[in-house]
Amino acid sequence: MDTYPIVHKSLIFNIITDQDISFSEIRKMLDHLIDEGAFQQEGQQPMGAPQMYELYIDNYHYVVDVLKYEVAIYKREKKIDMVGS
């Protein structure tokens, strides 16, 4: 997995992934995680314990974990539309 530093909303994040993902997707993901409270202030997250999140954004399903300002993206797959089946 590769690590990509990114500045978003005046915060510095490390994105860790081997997925082919656009900066636009990453920014939407970060916005969603910020809204979920994933990036807690120092001392509010147990040391060494990443939080897993499942996100559904723009017809994609993501599985990520967050530890401080590091976001590891483990899964990115297109959602399957079951309507009409």
Q: Among candidates 75, 57, 79, which has minimal Cα distance to 65?
A: 75
Note the pLDDT of residue 11: 94
List, for residues 26-45, the tens digit of each pLDDT value. 999 999 999 989 987 555 55
61-67's contacts with Cβ under 8 Å and 24+ in sequence apart are 62/29, 64/29, 64/33, 66/33, 66/38, 66/39
pTM for the full predicted model: 0.80
Q: Tell me what pLDDT residue 80 has.
A: 72
pLDDT digits (tens, 9 = 90+) for 1-30: 899 999 999 999 999 999 889 999 999 999
- The CA distance from 23 to 28, in Å, is 9
Q: Is the pLDDT of residue 81 over 60?
A: yes
